[in-house]
Amino acid sequence: SQKIEQNSEALNIQEGKTATLTCNYTNYSPAYLQWYRQDPGRGPVFLLLIRENEKEKRKERLKVTFDTTLKQSLFHITASQPADSATYLCALEGDSGGYQKVTFGIGTKLQVIP
Amino acid sequence: EAQVTQNPRYLITVTGKKLTVTCSQNMNHEYMSWYRQDPGLGLRQIYYSMNVEVTDKGDVPEGYKVSRKEKRNFPLILESPSPNQTSLYFCASRGGLYVTQYFGPGTRLTVL
């Protein structure tokens, strides 16, 4: 069955540094991948979407890469701030998983230390 | 303001007592989904709908029902709730594929 793994349950970094979060998947050929931010007790908020034929996407301080050969996506937050502290989720959809069936990873909790 | 609303936000009930969690979106989206979120398991899709009267099972549909009689509403029905359905539930909607999915604020359900 398809499986998504996100690196470590928690990641602590110093303010101003670049945070890099990993999303690996197996038994899956997604059409695209999404990243979300989730704060405690709240619904996920969409951040970025990247398609299988795209290598990289950027939005302000955020950057996502997608390597379908390695079956991996990297999510970068540059010049991190304490306000970036949250849980970040990756989600895959499409192709072998079927459209509309969205599979989420369990998330990585990021703590940015002032 | 574009939004997805859910009601109730918090609910404590007893085993076997039928309940409905409502979900409504004001963005005229065709696609809607229900998820549950549990510690260590993450978000798992329960049901999804591609349009009015078109629904399909997600990964964990057992014990749940849905209906889509109107485009804006997608209620989640638990006919006979059990304690293992205690969870945080999210409704979501979007206008198509490859676009932003908007989530509701969540409904925290406890089944005693």
What is the 8-class DSSP label of residue A112? E
pLDDT band at A8 (very low <50, low <70, confident <90, very high): low
Rounded distance between C-alpha atoms, residue B110 and residue A75, angstroms: 34
Contact criterion met (CB < 8 Å) for A103 and B50:
no
| Range 43-102 of A in CB contact (< 8 A) with B | 43-46, 49, 51, 89, 91, 93-94, 99-102
- Least confident segment among A30-39, A77-86, B65-74: A30-39
Residues of A in contact with B100 (CB under 8 A): 46, 49
Residues of B in contact with A46 (CB under 8 A): 100-102
pLDDT for B46: 96
pLDDT for A99: 62
Strands, DSSP E only, in chain A? Answer: 3-6, 10-14, 19-26, 32-38, 45-51, 56-59, 62-67, 72-77, 86-93, 102-104, 108-113
B47, B56 Cβ separation under 8 angstroms: yes
A22, A72 Cβ separation under 8 angstroms: yes
Contact criterion met (CB < 8 Å) for A46 and B106:
no
B43, B56 Cβ separation under 8 angstroms: no
Report residue B87 CA to chain centroid gap: 12
CA atoms in the 13 A half-sphere facing the CB of B78: 25
Rounded distance between C-alpha atoms, residue B19 and residue A67, angstroms: 44
Please write the tens of the pLDDT for every residue from A54-100. 999 999 999 999 998 999 999 999 999 999 999 999 998 875 545 66
Share of residues in chain B with pLDDT > 90 (%): 86
| Range 50-109 of B in CB contact (< 8 A) with A | 50, 56, 58-59, 90, 92, 97-106
Contact criterion met (CB < 8 Å) for A102 and B101:
yes
